[in-house]
Structure 1
Amino acid sequence: MAELQEQEERLQFDRFDHDDAWALGTRLVELGRARGHAITVDIRLGDHQLFHYALPGTSADNDDWIERKIRVVRRFGHSSYRVGQSFRDRGTTFEEQAHLDPARYAAHGGCFPIILKGTGPVGTVTVSGLPQLDDHRLVVEALGLFLETERSGR
């Protein structure tokens, strides 16, 4: 849990706009393509979908998972994996204890809040198609690479 909290503290933006969504989204697609992953990538600023791409091998089911993961991040303000892990750490599951419709909410890894420094969560970046920890790790990796590039001046 400490690692998941550290990720959210470290992976924060000074700003985030349409061009950033494009750059981050294409980086995720490139990582997925290079590794042969069948993933769908989605980036939103508030309710506005700025980027969405599905690699070959995905289906509309991935879009459904994305929507369910996003609802968790919006409701709890933390990554979907962190939310699910918080329940697992208490010896239960999100599905058993959250009292939310599992057809609408999925605390499975792959959705991470877009956090602005000094503001908080303003959007989401989501991957669906891999086992949940791998979805989460891919998003965290791409965010780290993106922010490193941004901070070094592109």
Structure 2
Amino acid sequence: MSDATRPDPDPSIAELEAQEQRLTLTRFTHDDAWTLGSLLVELARQRQAPVAIDIRRGGQQLFHAALPGSTPDNDAWIDRKRRVVERYGNSSYLVGARYRAKDTTFEASSRLDLDRYAAHGGSFPITVEGAGVIGTVTVSGLPQLEDHMMVVEALERFRDS
């Protein structure tokens, strides 16, 4: 594939916003968290991805898995990325992209404690029609765009099932 036909590895802000709109769900139950989490584990195992996976609704952790090769650092990254989604209501990757589009970085301009917040890809809002953002789904262990895209792929499969 030539460079001219290769898809852009960094999605645009408009593409990231469209993902969030497209992946709004009609409901999200405890059983749905198990189904989505299990789907993410399956994807990670197929790719031998050393990731940790976390799904939360409100303040409650509904699903967590740590696959071979993941470390406690992945759980710390999950917490930092999740806090960005909870604060901004958008995916951690989109938040970081918006800062980069302003020719700065989240780290330089957010004024938030970087030990508690990280606008790196991998955490995505769980949005339910009529309720707004009710939780998060987060993957940590791969480069940030790969973490983000794994969550998007799983949400697309979940929504279409």
* TM-score, length basis structure 1: 0.96
**Aligned to 1:6, which of 18, 26, 32?**
18
Aligned to 1:59: 71
Aligned counterparts of 1:81 and 1:117: Cα–Cα separation in 2:
22
Q: Deviations over 1:4-60 (max 9, x none)?
A: 000010001111011000000000000000111000000000010000000000110
Deviation (angstroms), 1:144: 0.2
**Letter matched to residue 32 of structure 2:** D
SS of corresponding position for 1:13: coil
Q: Deviations over 1:81-111 (max 9, x none)?
A: 0000000011000000000011100000000
Aligned to 1:43: 55
**Aligned to 2:41, which of 3, 24, 29?**
29
Q: Deviations over 1:100-142 (max 9, x none)?
A: 0111000000000000012210000000000000000000000
Aligned to 1:119: 131
Aligned to 2:153: 141
Give RMSD over aligned pairs. 0.4
**Aligned to 1:86, which of 81, 86, 98?**
98
**Aligned to 2:89, which of 69, 77, 97?**
77
**Letter matched to residue 87 of structure 1:** Y
**Letter matched to residue 82 of structure 1:** L
Aligned counterparts of 2:42 and 2:128: Cα–Cα separation in 1:
25
* TM-score, length basis structure 2: 0.92
Name the % identity: 60
**Any unmatched runs of 5+ in structure 1?**
150-154
Aligned counterparts of 1:55 and 1:63: Cα–Cα separation in 2:
12
Aligned counterparts of 2:34 and 2:40: Cα–Cα separation in 1:
10
SS of corresponding position for 1:2: helix
**Any unmatched runs of 5+ in structure 2?**
1-12
